[in-house]
Structure formats: structure tokens, C-alpha cells
Structure 1
Amino acid sequence: MSLDPTIIGTETPPVRLTVDAGRLRFFAKAIGETNPIFTDEKAAKAAGHDRLPVPPTFLFAIELEQPDSFAWLAKLGVDLRRILHGEQRFTYHSVAHAGDTVIARSRISDVYSRKGGALEFLVKDTAVTREDGSAVADLTSVIVIRRIGGGE
């Protein structure tokens, strides 16, 4: 089943996350980040932060904090066994820190196909803000869906 272009504009439920310092340290270690500002409070303060800053790619993981983070794709009829993470872009507006509560609001901004329908692409834009509405970052994620038989 091909993606219906009428899904463009569909929004997913917002995801709220209070950033935990321990979670930031774990994330930094998991991605191999060696800059101590992401793991050591003293180093963060020496660099001008009042708390641990959020590592650059951490914001991608906000939506993965939900119990069923891919339910929105399944709801669209996408076979989760056939998806690939195709691309991720970040535009930063400000630095989030441990203790901040951030909200991710996502919407599908495009769908298209290539290779005669064998590959479909779903583009999702996510705005991450603080509770007061101030912008933290804008994310664009491209999900590739592999179809059997060129677009069945």
C-alpha cells in the first residue's frame, strides 16, 4: 500500500520531556561524546552553562521516549519491518539544558516515491520548544519505506 499524499499536514501528538541530567550523561556516553561539558557539571559551568547542556543529537530521541514511539507510522499502514532512517537535519535556535521541559510537535510535510514506487519517502518536521514556547530546534527526519514489487 502506497502512502496517500493526503497525509501531508498530519500532526502527531506532542511529546513532552523534562530533560534529566543522568539521561544526558548516558546519551553522551552512548554516542561516544568526549566533551566533558555534556557529562560534568563543573565543565559545563566553566563553559558558560548553568547546567549540563543537551548534546546536539539528543533532541532526535525525544519522540522515542513514548511507550509506542512508532504507533503513528503503524496507524498510517506502514510495515515497520520495512523502514529505514534515511536522513536527519537539525536547525538550532537555543541550547536546552538538564531540567528544561521541552515539547516536540511533529507534522508530516511531504511524501514521495522513487525507483518506480519501490522506495517511498516520508518527511516529518518537528519543532522543539520549551514550555514557554521559546524555540530550541527544528528537526527534519526522512523515513524510507521499502516496498515489495515496486509499490504494492
Structure 2
Amino acid sequence: MAVDPAIIGTALPPTELTVDAGRLRFFAKAIGEINPVFTDAAVAAAAGHATLPVPPTFLFAIELEQSDPFAWLAEIGVDLRRVLHGEQRFTYHSLAHAGDVLTVRPTIGDVYTKKNGALEFIVKQAAVTRADGAAVADLTSVLVVQNPEVRP
């Protein structure tokens, strides 16, 4: 089933997360981050941080806090078995730290096809802000969906 371009501009449910220092340490370990500024509060303080800073790619994990973070794909008729992660980009405005309350507000930014419709691309853009509304980052992710109805 083809992805309907009419979904461009659709706002998806926001996700709010209070950043926990323990989760930051766990995340840093999981991604193989070896810089102790992300895991040791004393090292972070010596580097000028009030608390542990958020590792760069952590912001994409916030949306995974939803009970079904991929429900929006099912709602637009995408079979999750045909989805690949294509790309992710970050534009940072400020550094987030443990204790910050962050909100991610995603929107469908674009839908396009390649290979005569055999591959469909969904571009999701998300703004990450603090509780006071200050911008933290803009995230872009591209999902690739194989359309079984079209042969390349």
C-alpha cells in the first residue's frame, strides 16, 4: 500500500520526559560512549556542566517512551516489517542536562518515492524543547518503506 502524501504536515503526539541521570549513564554505556563527562557527575562538573549532559543521540530515544512509539505508522497503513531506518540528523540549539524536562513534538515533513514507487520515504521532523519552551534541538529521521505492490 502506498503512503499517502496527504499526511505531510500531520502532527504526531508529543512526548515529555524528565531526563534522569541514571538513564543517561545507561544510554552512554549502551552506545559505547567512553567520555566520562556523560557518566561521572564530578567530571561533568569539572567540565562546566551543572549535571550530566545529554549524549547527542539520546534525544531520538525520547519518543520511544510512548507505550507504542510506532503506532503512527500502523495508523497510516505502513507494515512495520517493511520499514528500514534510512537516516537521522540533528540540529542543536542548546545542551540538555539531567533534570531537564524535555518535550518532543514530531511532524510528518515529507513523503516521496524512488525506484518507481518500490521505495517510499517518510521524513519525520521533531522539535525538542525544555519545559520553558527553549529550543534544544531539531531532529529529522527518514524511514524507508518497501512497497510490495511495486517491483523495482
Q: Secondary structure of 1:67's match? A: coil
Match of 1:112 in 2: 112
Distance in structure 1 (CA, Å) of the matches to 2:55 and 2:119: 32
Count of residues paired in the alignment: 151
Q: Secondary structure of 1:88's match? A: strand
Match of 1:121 in 2: 121
Match of 1:8 in 2: 8
Match of 1:132 in 2: 132
- After superposition, give the CA deviation of every residue in 1:38-73 in whole Å (9 maximum; x if it has no partner): 000000000000000000000010001111000011
Question: After the TM superposition, which of the residue ranges 140-149 and 54-63 deviates more from structure 2?
Answer: 140-149
AA of the residue aligned to 2:23: R
Match of 1:91 in 2: 91
2:45 maps to 1:45 = yes
Taking structure 2 as the reference length, what is the TM-score of the superposition?
Answer: 0.98
Q: Secondary structure of 2:57's match? A: helix
Match of 2:75 in 1: 75
Distance in structure 2 (CA, Å) of the matches to 1:29 and 1:141: 23
Q: Secondary structure of 2:124's match? A: strand
State the shift of 1:147 in Å. Answer: 1.3
Please identify runs of 4+ aligned residues in structure 1 that moved more than 4 A. none
State the shift of 1:85 in Å. Answer: 0.6
Contiguous gaps of at least 5 residues in structure 2? none
Q: Secondary structure of 1:69's match? A: coil
Q: Secondary structure of 1:56's match? A: coil
Q: Secondary structure of 2:51's match? A: coil
State the shift of 1:148 in Å. Answer: 1.3
* CA RMSD, 1 decimal: 0.8
Match of 2:55 in 1: 55
Taking structure 1 as the reference length, what is the TM-score of the superposition?
Answer: 0.98
- After superposition, give the CA deviation of every residue in 1:106-128 in whole Å (9 maximum; x if it has no partner): 00010000011110000010000
